[in-house]
């Protein structure tokens, strides 16, 4: 009987196909060489498995939320003329749309970084292969990523260099390229890329390197900025001779690449032969000097009008357009510094120590705050002297008492006055208005009893105490609030109230005095004209509506009286020459404290050239809650320091 053949483990059972491996019909090592059918079968099986794995991983990977760093932007504040004042935030970034980015920037980046960007799948297999091989071999990390991959790394992943991160980058890039348009990806890339000098995104880079918004860049400048994407540390021209040489060569190459890829004509390329030198590298813009005080005032106004909180503002990404005029702010700062340098000497006079100055300039016709001086430096003196309620205003408050009397007192005029018995006389005119011409030789002829006009010019305390009592302090308070002073800054209604025990800020005093020079109309002071975030306007920034604070006739009477007071004060000061060039102007009015005040402060509020400016001076020793006295500040002839705010105002008002 025949034997059944013995089945080896490699053979299938009857009815199946035999797996002939190792190959029985081959000898020695050849038995282990697979046939072409076996190779093909194995390859197809492997490809199928890889395709299945790829599909499974692709399906399981979601596009994550943008990381916190990619979402963070600076909040940018602008001067009244539209130029950038400061970018505030931990990241200097201001996102813009492609509509605000010139085509030349897009072309330069695509030509230099990813020529096939508009047609590829969002990934570069060769680039990933080079990077993976380098990491396995322990060499330097490699680039070679597409624009999409770089955007994914900037926006969705950490900056670590690892095989795991590269794999995630690959799949997210594929999915993102499938779901998002190339325009969206390019816009995101240009808004998240690092350009050096603390600038993230093309808008911040354009301002940092060339001082203009991105939309004003030309092809030469965009080529230079595109070169920074290869590594700002090596290609920023300000980094030394080697950096400059690399930057110039890369700039040339990027322009040439645009010609090679059909993005620029040879004729256009021929126009750009001179390297566009960027601005000198400077330290990132900070809140030092007056900048911090300007931002402080703007932020207070933003919170008041929009309902945004400090936490909301800390998110960044806002564009804030202010009323601050660059030249005026600088002129006011120079005026303060020049007077301090000339008239204060801490080495000779201990009384000159701890002197602080605050000032604000307001446009009466609409309440715009055009300039402030908040202190020597916002990074060392955190309290904003221009917007601090805590400094007694002294005799500078008396015009509000006068206005209240003219507005509410039956029959009271500028020529009314009190006789020696304290009786108010409201009869016929008792004063001849003085003449003012040129540098103004002012002659005031007053018949007894002293009129309210003369009492205001001489800042007669007794007359104003009597006047406040006569018309009622509530009426004085009501008019002061109507003129723009905060009610909470007003002092207790006692007999000293008319003499200026209240403590309004310089901003509010400038705004309130503006009513005297604007026919009795005044608007709340404002510092922000508009605000946006992500291109959407933030509501609440319409211009404040003017309101009537007093009758026009009352405002004109007070204005004319303050005009005489202004010239009297200017001529009394021996350093009047600081304002001599403006001596012929007729629109000058002012109110001030004087040497008879016993307040711990000195004030001068003047109006000229369409601006009302309040200047305050006081002494504040750090750690001491009470203000120090002003006696002796600036020397014995400084009238308890009262001439110093006048000199600051005169220097500022005379500036060209």
CATH number at residue 229: 1.10.3810.10
Averaging pLDDT over each range in 198-202, 236-240, 373-377, 449-453, which range is the top one?
373-377
Distance between CA atoms of residues 427 and 398, nearest Å: 22
* pLDDT top residue among 340 and 51: 340
Residues 54 and 100 in one domain: no
Whether residue 44 lies inside any domain: the answer is yes
Residues 54 and 116 in one domain: no
The per-residue pLDDT for 58 is 47
Instruction: Give the contacts of 5 (CB within 8 A, at least 6 positions apart).
Output: none
Residue in 146, 279, 154, 283 with CA at minimum distance from that of residue 221: 279
What 8-state DSSP symbol labels residue 324?
A: -
Beta bridge partners of 418: 424, 450
Say if residue 29's pLDDT is above 90: no
Residues 40 and 178 in one domain: no
Least confident piece of the model among 55-59, 379-383, 391-395, 574-578: 55-59
* pLDDT top residue among 634 and 159: 634
Residues 635 and 519 in one domain: yes
Strands 84-88 and 431-432: unpaired
Find how far residue 506's CA is from the centre of its chain: 21
What 8-state DSSP symbol labels residue 505?
A: -
* pLDDT top residue among 234 and 67: 234
* pLDDT top residue among 420 and 85: 85
Average pLDDT (444-455) is 69
Residues 39 and 102 in one domain: no
Percent of all residues in the chain with a pLDDT value above 70, rounded to a whole number: 77
- Per residue, what are the HEC states of 363-387? ECCCCEEEEEECCCCCCCCCCCHHH
Residue in 422, 396, 417 with CA at minimum distance from that of residue 405: 417
Whether residue 75 lies inside any domain: the answer is no
Tokens of 146: 């597409």
Q: Containing H/E element for 572?
A: helix 552-572
Average pLDDT (253-265) is 96
The per-residue pLDDT for 444 is 40
CATH number where 400 lies: 3.40.710.10
Say if residue 7's pLDDT is above 60: no
Residues 233 and 378 in one domain: no
When pLDDT is cut at 50, 70 and 90, the band that residue 436 belongs to is very low
Say if residue 582's pLDDT is above 50: no
When pLDDT is cut at 50, 70 and 90, the band that residue 420 belongs to is confident
Residues 157 and 44 in one domain: no
* pLDDT top residue among 314 and 85: 85
Whether residue 286 lies inside any domain: the answer is no
Whether residue 352 lies inside any domain: the answer is no
The per-residue pLDDT for 568 is 77
Considering the chain, what is the average pLDDT of its residues?
83
Residues 178 and 232 in one domain: yes
Average pLDDT (161-187) is 74
The per-residue pLDDT for 638 is 81
Tokens of 237: 């021209």
Average pLDDT (517-542) is 93
Residues 543 and 613 in one domain: yes
Whether residue 72 lies inside any domain: the answer is no
Domain with 374, as residue range(s), is 368-653
Residues 53 and 163 in one domain: no
- Domain boundary among the residues 12, 44, 60 is at 60
- What is the total count of domains within the chain? 3
The per-residue pLDDT for 65 is 55
The per-residue pLDDT for 519 is 96
- Domain boundary among the residues 224, 253, 269 is at 269
Average pLDDT (358-367) is 97
Q: Are 73 and 316 in contact (CB under 8 A)?
A: yes
Say if residue 141's pLDDT is above 50: no
Q: Containing H/E element for 10?
A: none
Tell whether pTM > 0.75. Answer: no
Whether residue 254 lies inside any domain: the answer is yes
Distance between CA atoms of residues 301 and 243, nearest Å: 45
Q: Interior CA angle at 296 toward 650 and 487, to 5°?
A: 75
Residues 407 and 490 in one domain: yes
Residues 387 and 504 in one domain: yes
Whether residue 353 lies inside any domain: the answer is no
Whether residue 594 lies inside any domain: the answer is yes
Distance between CA atoms of residues 162 and 147, nearest Å: 19
Percent of all residues in the chain with a pLDDT value above 90, rounded to a whole number: 54
């Amino acid at each position: 009987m025949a034997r059944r053949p013995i089945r080896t483990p490699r053979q299938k059972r009857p009815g199946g196909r035999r797996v002939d491996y190792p190959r029985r019909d081959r000898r020695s090592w050849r038995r282990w060489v697979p046939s072409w059918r076996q190779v093909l079968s194995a390859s197809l099986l492997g490809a199928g498995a890889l395709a299945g794995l790829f599909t499974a991983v692709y399906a399981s990977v979601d596009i994550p939320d943008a990381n916190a760093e990619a979402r963070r932007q600076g909040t940018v504040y602008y001067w009244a003329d539209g130029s950038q004042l400061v970018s505030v935030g931990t990241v200097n970034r201001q996102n813009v749309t492609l509509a605000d980015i010139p085509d030349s920037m897009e072309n330069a980046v695509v030509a230099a970084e990813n020529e096939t960007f508009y047609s590829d799948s969002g990934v570069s297999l060769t680039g990933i292969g080079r990077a993976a091989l380098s990491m396995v071999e322990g060499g330097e990390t490699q680039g070679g990523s597409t624009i999409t991959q770089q955007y994914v790394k900037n926006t969705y992943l950490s900056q670590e260099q690892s095989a795991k991160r590269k794999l995630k980058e690959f799949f997210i890039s594929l999915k993102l390229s499938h779901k998002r348009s190339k325009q969206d990806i390019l816009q995101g890339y240009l808004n998240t890329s690092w350009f050096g000098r603390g600038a993230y995104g093309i808008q911040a880079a354009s301002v940092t390197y060339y001082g203009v918004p991105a939309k004003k860049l030309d092809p030469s400048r965009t080529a230079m900025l595109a070169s920074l994407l290869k590594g700002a540390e090596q290609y920023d021209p300000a980094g030394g001779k080697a950096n400059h040489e690399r930057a110039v060569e890369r700039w040339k190459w990027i322009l040439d690449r645009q010609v090679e890829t059909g993005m620029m004509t040879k004729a256009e390329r021929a126009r750009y032969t001179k390297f566009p030198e960027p601005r000198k590298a400077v330290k990132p813009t900070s809140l030092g000097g007056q900048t911090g005080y300007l931002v402080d005032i703007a932020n207070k106004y933003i919170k008041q009008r929009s309902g945004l909180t400090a936490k909301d503002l800390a998110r960044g990404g806002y564009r804030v357009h202010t009323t601050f005029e660059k030249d005026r702010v600088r002129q006011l700062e120079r005026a303060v510094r020049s007077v301090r340098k000339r008239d204060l000497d801490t080495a000779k006079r201990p009384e000159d120590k701890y002197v602080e100055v605050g000032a604000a300039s307001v446009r009466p016709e609409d309440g715009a705050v055009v300039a402030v001086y908040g202190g020597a430096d916002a990074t060392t003196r955190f309290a904003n002297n221009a917007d601090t309620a805590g400094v007694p205003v002294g005799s500078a408050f008396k015009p509000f008492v006068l206005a209240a009397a003219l507005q509410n007192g039956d029959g009271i005029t500028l020529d009314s006055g009190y006789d020696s018995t304290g009786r108010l006389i409201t009869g016929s005119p008792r004063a001849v208005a003085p003449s003012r011409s040129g540098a103004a030789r002012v002659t005031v002829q007053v018949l007894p009893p002293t009129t309210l006009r003369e009492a205001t010019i001489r800042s007669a305390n007794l007359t104003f105490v009597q006047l406040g009592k006569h018309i009622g302090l509530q009426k004085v308070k009501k008019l002061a609030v109507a003129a723009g002073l905060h009610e909470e800054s007003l002092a207790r209604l006692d007999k000293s109230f008319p003499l200026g025990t209240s403590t309004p800020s310089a901003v509010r005093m400038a705004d309130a005095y503006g009513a005297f020079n604007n026919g009795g109309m005044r608007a709340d002071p404002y510092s922000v004209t508009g605000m946006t975030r992500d291109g959407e306007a933030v509501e609440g920034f319409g211009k404040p509506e003017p309101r009537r604070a007093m009758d026009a006739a009352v405002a004109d009477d007070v204005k004319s009286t303050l005009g005489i007071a202004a010239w009297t004060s200017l001529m009394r000061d021996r350093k009047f020459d600081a304002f001599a060039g403006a001596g012929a102007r007729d629109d000058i009015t002012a109110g001030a404290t004087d040497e008879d005040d016993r307040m711990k402060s000195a004030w001068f509020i003047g109006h000229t050239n369409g601006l009302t400016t309040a200047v305050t001076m006081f002494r504040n020793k750090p750690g001491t809650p009470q203000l120090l006295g002003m006696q002796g500040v600036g020397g014995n002839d400084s009238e308890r320091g009262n001439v110093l705010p006048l000199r600051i105002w005169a220097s500022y008002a005379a500036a060209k």
